Chain A
Amino acid sequence: MKVGLFIPCYINQLYPQVGIATLELLEKLGVDVIYPSNQTCCGQPLGNSGYEDDAKGACQVFVENFKEYDYIVGPSGSCIYHVKKHFDILEQTPDVIKVRNNAYELCEFITKVLGIKDVGAKFPHKVGLHKSCHGLRGLKLGSCSEKMEPHYSTEEDLLNNVEGVKLMPLNRKDECCGFGGTFSVFEEAISVKMGKDRIQDHLDNGVEVLTGADHSCLMHLEGLLNRNKQPIKVMHIAEILNSSI
């Protein structure tokens, strides 16, 4: 099984520790991972802003980078969702179809493809899980509060098996954090208010570490937490799953 590691642009540039944790975690689980150089971005910021056509070049680069791999795994539900959902703007060659079908969000890859729920991690903290909308409602990583369906959650399955983790329940279990890509700057007031409200929910429920499978949501929430000096630490789920403290 040949796995290509997809590190989204903002993680590469701003959160290398998330990329490192992802790679180390996959290697610990016995996966043969290669990180193709020349990665840029999945094109999502352009598509979400209405400039999908200008993203075609970035999408092509993505396909070129990953067409050789059996699986493409990345620590970001939102980017993976974009590849699966919005690469329909490219001509649907066998390469494009293969890349779209085989792109996996990290947690989903671990539970579904590897069939592992206990990664053998230890993390003795009260954890709040932020379910990113694209991971949840897009990739269906879990059941949605709007739907009348049995409860399931890919991230919860993994976190519940981490020794010491205490998952804290939230009042609104899957409300959007307000990041929304360029929404965060073009609708600044609402974006900030949504983020503050999400954080308050975690604070009200005694969360020490806020985590999730999408670091873009976490970047927005961490920006607010730091500005307001609030006592919650932010970590990507890969960092928790890679911990052995």
Chain B
Amino acid sequence: MSHSEKAAIFNKDEAKVNWHDKALWFVREKRDTSAHKVKGWEELRNLASGIKANVLSNLDNYLIEFEANAQKNGIKVHWASNAEEHNKIVHKILAKHKAKKVVKSKSMLTEECHLNPYLENEGIEVIDTDLGERIVQLAKEPPSHIVLPAIHKTKEEVDELFQEHLGTTPSNGNPEYLTNEARKHLRDKFLKADAAITGVNFAVAETGGFVVCTNEGNADMGSHLAKVHIACMGIEKIIPKEEHLGVFLRLLARSSTGQPITTYSSHFNKPAEGREMHIVIVDNGRTEQLSREEFRSSLSCIRCGACMNTCPIYRRSGGHSYDATIPGPIGSILSPGMDMKKHSSLPFASTLCGSCSNVCPVKINIHEQLYAWRQVIVKEQKQPIIKKSILKITGAVLARPTLYSFMGKSVRFMLKYAPKFMIYSKLNAWGKARDLPEVKNGNFDQWYKNREKNG
């Protein structure tokens, strides 16, 4: 199903759409307030954008530098060219340690690689420890937002889910009670875990260390308790120097939720005595995206989710309508690069309003890339014949002023004199909920000609 079809289904429950829209708009406004307090916010965005551009232009060197420094610190570094290799590597490490119970903090990369089903298939229990991720895991759903994975669920729905899976008592969606129950449930999982998997927000080439940002401390809890820590990162997570963290950490949480900084910004540099620390560096289509000049800056993304919160379409269609690991505007420019056929409707799920590009902390020109993807998709993917014919004919008419003048008159004649049932039919999506413009006597051309004639 295309985005528009899924979004139409989501819109059948208007009250829920309103709630979803307001919840995310609230986060967008928190972001505005928080960013307003930073003197030189726009300059900070320029800096971040510049650092990321430098990274993407020198990615090979920075990755090698990072690997060498990480190894010096005693971290084991693995390279995976695709999702399958990534999953195999992670499994091999876990198998070596006979790990059967794994706790995982948030990582969109492992979602992208479908690591959970892979490991579960191998008889390993994987528990997502971010509360939102745990909620969607229990519901057997993918996250609908990269920072707020369960934003599509109301607290009442969470209540029911917890009753079913955690044996809680009905609480009418009492957030305090439910959070406490989740906390107890997760404590137990942390204590019994054989290994911890985390994502990576920033990997510092200069030091070989990496930073993981969470609000719940779940990455720390997992990695400090288990004897093996596996951190999974896409190749684009590199930043050159530790001092650059000062730029990105200031931008990330403010853009994301409006907090000045994430509650935990944890720096991992080397394994503790008697422990193992692994990093899996994954390509999975990223070098191909890097080779596409128009779309390469999409790899600058630091996964703050600000473009989702501000996007008027995302807010009213819900993350699942995008049917992609990363939903929303940034996902709509990343996903076609991974699978153009599957995701061909996504770049059209936008009015090109440009709000996404304006909030982006690394200044990715998201709406311009959406426009550019449309041009590529129309050429490379089969298009609905009616849409294609209409637009091709329109192009031909607009190139011929006389023909255009004739067509313009005909259309106005139709709109004015054709019976209503013909105009407001199933074929006319405009007319389902909107009236068509009232047609006046004559167009501007005629009025101007008459005026010229009459002096």
Contacts and interface: CB of A to CB of B under 8 A. Distances in A.
A194 interface: yes
Contact of B11 (A14, A39, A189): A189
A146 B21 CA distance: 17
A172 B25 contact: yes
Contacts of A95: none
Given A17-B440, A193-B11, A50 B396 contact: no
Given A12-B443, A16-B442, A226 B435 contact: yes
A150 to B, nearest CB: 11
A48 interface: yes
Given A35-B448, A52-B375, A187 B433 contact: no
B411 A13 contact: yes
Contact of B32 (A15, A35, A146, A180): A146
Contact of B437 (A14, A47, A180): A14
A176 interface: yes
Contacts of B352: 48, 133-134, 180
A176 B14 CA distance: 19
Contact of B378 (A7, A49, A178): A49
A118 interface: no
Contacts of B396: 54, 57
Interface string A108-149: 000000000000000000000000011001100000111111
Nearest to B39: A148
A190 B11 contact: yes
B434 A192 contact: yes
Contacts of B392: 51, 54
A178 B433 CA distance: 13
Nearest to B448: A35
A47 B17 CA distance: 30
Q: How many residues of A sit at the interface, in one of the four size bands?
A: 35 or more
B351 A148 contact: no
A45 B35 CA distance: 35
A64 to B, nearest CB: 10
Contacts of B260: none
Contact of B4 (A38, A149, A188, A224): A188
A192 B312 CA distance: 12
B445 interface: yes
B424 to A, nearest CB: 10
A118 B412 CA distance: 36
18 contacts: A12-B408, A14-B440, A49-B374, A54-B395, A55-B395, A56-B399, A60-B399, A137-B357, A145-B32, A146-B358, A148-B38, A149-B42, A187-B7, A191-B351, A193-B11, A197-B316, A223-B430, A223-B436
